[in-house]
Amino acid sequence: MNANGTAVSHPTPLSLSSLDGCRTERVCPPSIVNYKNTSQKGRMEEDIHDKMLSTIEGLSSAKPWCGNTDDFRGLCGFLLFFVEMGLEKEYRTISIPKLRSYFVCASVVLLCMFLVQIFVMPRTAKLGISFGIVAIIMGLILCICFADKCWRSCSERWPPVRYLCTFSKKVKTMPTVRLPLAAVAIGSLLIIAVFNLPTTQQTGNYTASSTDESATLLAENSVTVYSYYTYCCLLGFIACSVFLRMSFELKLILLSGGVVGYFIIFNTWQLLNVNNTTQRFIMKNPRIMTNLYLALFYITLVLLSKQIDYYCRLDCLQKNKFKKEHEEFETMENVNRLLLENVLPAHVAAHFIGDKLNEDWYHQSYDCVCVMFASVPDFKVFYTECDVNKEGLECLRLLNEIIADFDELLLKPKFSGVEKIKTIGSTYMAASGLCVTPGQENNLDQERQHAQIGIMVEFALGLMTKLDGINRHSFNNFRLRVGINHGPVIAGVIGARKPQYDIWGNTVNVASRMETTGELGKIQVTEETCKILESLGYACECRGLINVKGKGELRTYFVCTDTAKSQVL
């Protein structure tokens, strides 16, 4: 109360007046909005975390040694294949970046075999020739693998080298190239491991005609030779296992062929028929212990290769599912962006769905925005609910057609700066100048600010043209009543579940009054807006002073539509 005892009304904080001044809408404090957004974000993160855990558990539930699952199917309970044939083909043709290092490791194994046999076994021509041939084979394979790096500088001058470099790039990407090379390299190592094994004829001086001392020496030498060739065979198995991401079926065939061949060779080797009573290398019976070593190594490497194949397939499956989920996520993100941009302006939608998620309540102040209200007053009389128009459904269908045609104008590049705010019944509300970054309005020249007002007038004329076209097709006589004003406004988004973008301020209220107090088929503007339009070349007709609710008497003007239409053309 004042000193006279009269009650004085104070403005309510955090309240926004509606266009008609009769309704007050309270806005939640920013702290409450932030709390709601934070809680919603926390629930979303929990849902994503639970989904990730369930996906990981589903991928890890498959056992590598057993039969069918949702993603794998087993052949004979041992060989794994993807249920989806497209994924199986993708896995078979996947690139192996470290394939060259596999062949380098195989070359190191070849060197180890050579050192074992050259220092322990007799140095014969057969030994040198056999290892020379295998070394040439491995050298050619390495030359093919590293041609694109070693011969790149010469590829421009020599066409054959260019073809070799192209072929080298296909080694790690094409299974039809890398599998034969791997089979040749591993097969050569498995063969060279026992190729130089001495035969009975080569050591014929130590046969049954020899003395007991010579027989004992022969047995000891045979056990020594036997053990070192066993080590070479194990090195051959290791050479097969270094090709980690190579086809499991190829490694299984090579290992199986190698172990069967070794069993046959070592169990039919005549030099071990001599009775040996000594114990060397913890072996009482070299043949049995060699068979045991080969079998254990074979089983171990097969199981290891099987395990590697399983986890490589699992990795491929996870990448494939991640790729699909990422594509679905991008699709959903684009859909959400489109849906949000249908509700909010593009620059406002970017505030919520950008890379940096902003949870603050969106609000911005603008110094110069042109606001337009365009209504179809005759629609209220046109709307009736009866059986003929299906209880008003046909009337609403026509209104939807009108508003949809109005929205089509926004797609024109000419009106890219115009933003539709909302529709209130048959009233269409739009504004221009909201795309400018807040705080940079002063950086724009005055002509560009004034041009926004001219664009809004042209947009209003476009609405009138659209309505005339609808009248011709629907045999109606609707006319548009437009009010335009410019000035400072406040823009913001209200609501969390169903957000709504709106603008407030005295500029908006005056623009609404320009429409409600206007006349059909005319565009009414304030005196300040009229001066700017006249500077842009528009002709305006003074209407005089009119009584505006809440503003008193204002001098208003009508934009001459003929002049404005010439501006549009």
Q: Nearest Cα to 510, choosing from 16, 26, 21? A: 21
Alpha-carbon distance 200 to 271, whole Å? 6
Q: Structure tokens of 7? A: 């009650």
Query: Residue 568 has what DSSP assignment?
Result: H
User: b/e for 39-62, b at 16 or more Cβ within 10 A?
Assistant: eeeeeeeeeeeeeeeeeeeebeeb
Please name which of 308, 245, 242 lies closest in space to residue 91, comparing C-alpha atoms: 245
d(CA 351, CA 357): 7
R_g of the chain computed on alpha carbons: 44
Q: Which of 19, 4, 5, 30 is closest to 361 using CA atoms? A: 30
- Residue 551 designated active-site: no
Residue 390 region by backbone torsions, left for phi larger than 0, else alpha for psi between -120 and 50, else beta: left
Residue 170 tokens read as 């296909």
Tokens of 271: 């030099």
First-to-last CA distance in the chain? 60
**284 catalytic, yes or no?**
no
Q: Judge contact between 374 and 481, C-beta under 8 A.
A: yes
Element (H, E) at 320: helix 286-343
CB-based contacts of 424, cutoff 8 Å, min separation 6: 19
Q: Which residues pair with 500 in a beta bridge?
A: 494
Among 89, 319, 549, 551, the active-site one is 549
Strands (E), 10-87: 15-17, 24-26, 72-75, 79-82
User: Measured on CA atoms in the order 12, 14, 17, 22, is the torsion positive or negative?
Assistant: negative
Catalytic entry in 100, 513, 522, 543:
513
Which residue bears the tokens 């290791």? 238
- Could you tell me which of 118, 122, 121, 99 has the C-alpha nearest to residue 110? 118
Instruction: Decide the pairing of beta strands 363-375 and 79-82.
Output: unpaired
Give the residue numbers marked as catalytic: 513, 549
